[in-house]
Amino acid sequence: MSGLKRPFPLAVAQLGPISLADSRAAVVKRLIALLREAHARGAKFVVFPELALTTFFPRYWMSEEEAVERFFERSMPGPETKPLFDLAAEFKIGFYLGYAELTPDGRRFNTAIMTDENAKIVGRYRKIHLPGHSHHIETAPFQHLEKKFFDVGNEGFNVWTTQGVRMGMCICNDRRWAETYRVMALQSAEIVVLGYNTPSVNIHWPEAPHLRMSSHLISMQGNAYGNALWVAAAAKCGSEDGFHMIGGSAIVSPTGEITALAQTEADELIFANIDLAIGETFREHVFNFAKHRRPEHYGLIVERTGAGAPLGKKPD
Ligand code: ING
- Model confidence at 1: pLDDT above 90: no
pLDDT in tens, 18-58: 999 999 999 999 999 999 999 999 999 999 999 999 999 99
Q: How far is the CA of 316 from the centre of ligand 1 (A)?
A: 44
Measured CA to CA, the distance from residue 45 to residue 66 in angstroms comes to 34
- What pLDDT, on a 0 to 100 scale, did the predictor assign at position 89? 99
Contacts from 258-262 at CB under 8 Å and sequence distance 24+? 258/217, 258/221, 260/12, 262/12, 262/14, 262/235
pLDDT in tens, 116-169: 999 999 999 999 999 999 999 999 999 999 999 999 999 999 999 999 999 999
Q: Which of 110, 127, 130, 176 is the pocket-test mutation for ligand 1 (most atoms within 8 Å of CB)? A: 176
- What pLDDT, on a 0 to 100 scale, did the predictor assign at position 69? 98
3-state secondary structure of 246: coil
- What pLDDT, on a 0 to 100 scale, did the predictor assign at position 285? 97
pLDDT in tens, 222-270: 999 999 999 999 999 999 999 999 999 999 999 999 999 999 999 999 9
Q: How confident is the model at residue 11 (pLDDT cuts 50, 70, 90)?
A: very high
Strand 230-235 versus strand 121-126 pairing type:
unpaired
Catalytic-role residue among 44, 148, 170, 172 = 172
Q: Are 157 and 125 in contact (CB under 8 A)?
A: yes
Q: Are 236 and 48 in contact (CB under 8 A)?
A: no
Instruction: Tell me the percentage of the chain whose pLDDT exceeds 90.
Output: 99
Backbone angles phi, psi at 212, to 5 degrees: -65, -40
Measured CA to CA, the distance from residue 268 to residue 52 in angstroms comes to 14
Averaged confidence pLDDT in the chain: 98
Strand 191-196 versus strand 165-171 pairing type:
parallel
- Average pLDDT (98-109) is 98
- What pLDDT, on a 0 to 100 scale, did the predictor assign at position 21? 98
What ligand 1 atom has the least distance to the C-alpha of 51?
14
147 is known as an active-site residue? no
The finding on whether 198 has its CB within 6 A of some atom of ligand 1 is: yes
Measured CA to CA, the distance from residue 159 to residue 166 in angstroms comes to 6
- Average pLDDT (199-211) is 95
- Model confidence at 2: pLDDT above 90: no
Contacts from 204-207 at CB under 8 Å and sequence distance 24+? none
Q: Which of 152, 172, 194, 223 is the pocket-test mutation for ligand 1 (most atoms within 8 Å of CB)? A: 172
172 is known as an active-site residue? yes
